[in-house]
């Protein structure tokens, strides 16, 4: 028999009680091992001796159940205890709410007395209702705190499972997401799926845009630039010239095609803003004191006609 397919031997309990059995088995096993040079037979002898010690000690050799799920996929014991505590806190709080609301049935009174006894509250005191009210609020807070911890664990576990599924088979993972979106109602599905994927796509796109030198320089000393500002359902690009803005637009279009997700580039608009002459800063109808037809150096950047006549 293949040694790897043998039933697993559990840990020996009550070692002090089984000390004599172990000593007798070791003496017999030593005689058996001295007369064999085969590793597989030696392994078989050690395994049989261990199984015999377990049987004489009142234990059984572990036999795997084919219908049993993998141990790694089982729910952790601390999670089961946490869920049990949350249910108990909520149940006790509901009982106290019924009692404080005036329900004096035999069942509610018995449970209220048990809860008060556990919290060391005397129901014969004049302020016992106030104490029970404080206890109810405390139980609600405990249930909420433990529930938040449980939600964080479930969220982290789901994220790990999704990451593992994405690494193993990306197509199957994306199909599962599409199937989940189809199972949702028509009025809820797009609201839950499209904004989430849009926001997730903006992070790598923002990294690509900021790596370029086409962004608008907001700090001339430290050469700080601003390439984009992502929003929930919008994206704004910034650059110092029309050519650089075209570079950012091409990066966005290429990224949109690569992920097969339309950003609605056909509905985008371009706004160009230049500096204006000081005389035209507050009065568009005023005439500038500078002759724009002159070829002399102009100390201020010119305004553009398409922006001025908008």
* Poorest-pLDDT segment among 31-35, 203-207, 273-277: 273-277
Report how far apart the first and last C-alpha atoms of the chain are (Å, whole number): 88
Residue with the larger pLDDT of the pair 106 and 166: 106
Measured CA to CA, the distance from residue 135 to residue 89 in angstroms comes to: 10
Please compute the mean of the pLDDT values over residues 227-245 and round it to a whole number: 70
Asked if residue 297 has pLDDT above 50, the reply is no
Q: pLDDT digit string (tens) for 122-138?
A: 988 889 999 999 999 99
pLDDT at 306: 40
- Banded pLDDT at 116 (limits 50, 70, 90): very high
Asked if residue 233 has pLDDT above 50, the reply is yes
Helices and strands (H, E) in the chain, number of each type: 9, 4
Spell out a b/e string for 83-104, using b for 16 or more CB atoms within 10 Å of the CB, else e.
Answer: eeebeebbebbebbebbeeeee
Please state, rounded to an integer, the average pLDDT across all residues of the chain. 74
Place of tokens 């989940």: 180
Q: Are 217 and 240 in contact (CB under 8 A)?
A: yes
Q: Where are the domains of the chain?
A: 3-56, 77-168, 192-259, 272-310
Measured CA to CA, the distance from residue 97 to residue 112 in angstroms comes to: 10
Backbone angles phi, psi at 190, to 5 degrees: -60, -35
The pTM of the full predicted model, rounded to 2 decimals, is 0.39
Q: pLDDT digit string (tens) for 276-293?
A: 555 554 555 545 444 545
Residue with the larger pLDDT of the pair 195 and 199: 199
pLDDT at 218: 66
Spell out a b/e string for 200-231, using b for 16 or more CB atoms within 10 Å of the CB, else e.
Answer: ebbeebeeebeeeebbbeeeeeeeebbbbebe
Q: pLDDT digit string (tens) for 197-228?
A: 556 667 777 777 777 777 777 665 555 666 66
- Radius of gyration for the chain, computed over Cα atoms and rounded to the nearest angstrom: 37
Please compute the mean of the pLDDT values over residues 241-252 and round it to a whole number: 79
Q: Are 261 and 250 in contact (CB under 8 A)?
A: no
């Amino acid at each position: 028999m293949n040694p790897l397919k043998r039933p697993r031997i559990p840990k020996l309990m009550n070692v002090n009680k089984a000390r004599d059995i172990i000593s007798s088995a070791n003496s017999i096993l030593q005689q058996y091992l001295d007369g064999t040079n085969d590793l597989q037979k030696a392994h078989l002898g050690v395994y049989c001796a261990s199984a015999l010690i377990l049987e004489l000690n009142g234990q059984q050799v572990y036999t795997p159940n084919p219908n049993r799920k993998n141990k790694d996929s089982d729910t952790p014991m601390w999670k089961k205890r946490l869920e049990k505590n949350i249910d108990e806190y909520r149940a006790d709080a509901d009982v106290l709410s019924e009692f404080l609301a005036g329900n004096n049935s035999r069942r509610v009174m018995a449970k209220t007395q048990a809860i008060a006894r556990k919290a060391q509250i005397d129901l014969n005191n004049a302020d016992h209702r106030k104490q029970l009210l404080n206890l109810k609020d405390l139980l609600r807070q405990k249930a909420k705190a433990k529930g938040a911890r449980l939600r964080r664990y479930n969220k982290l576990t789901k994220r790990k499972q999704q990451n593992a599924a994405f690494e193993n088979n990306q197509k199957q993972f994306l199909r599962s997401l599409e199937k989940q979106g189809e199972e949702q109602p028509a009025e809820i599905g797009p609201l839950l799926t499209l904004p989430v994927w849009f926001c997730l796509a903006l992070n790598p796109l923002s990294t690509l845009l900021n790596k370029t030198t086409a962004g608008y320089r907001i700090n001339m000393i430290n050469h700080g630039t601003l390439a984009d500002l992502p929003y929930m359902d919008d994206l704004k690009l910034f650059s110092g010239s029309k050519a650089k803005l075209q570079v950012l637009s091409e990066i966005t279009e290429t990224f949109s095609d690569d992920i097969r997700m339309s950003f609605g580039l056909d509905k985008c608009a371009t706004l160009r803003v230049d500096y204006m002459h000081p005389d035209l800063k507050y009065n568009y109808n005023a005439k500038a004191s500078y002759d724009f037809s002159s070829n002399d150096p102009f100390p201020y950047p010119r305004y553009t006609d398409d922006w001025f006549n908008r």
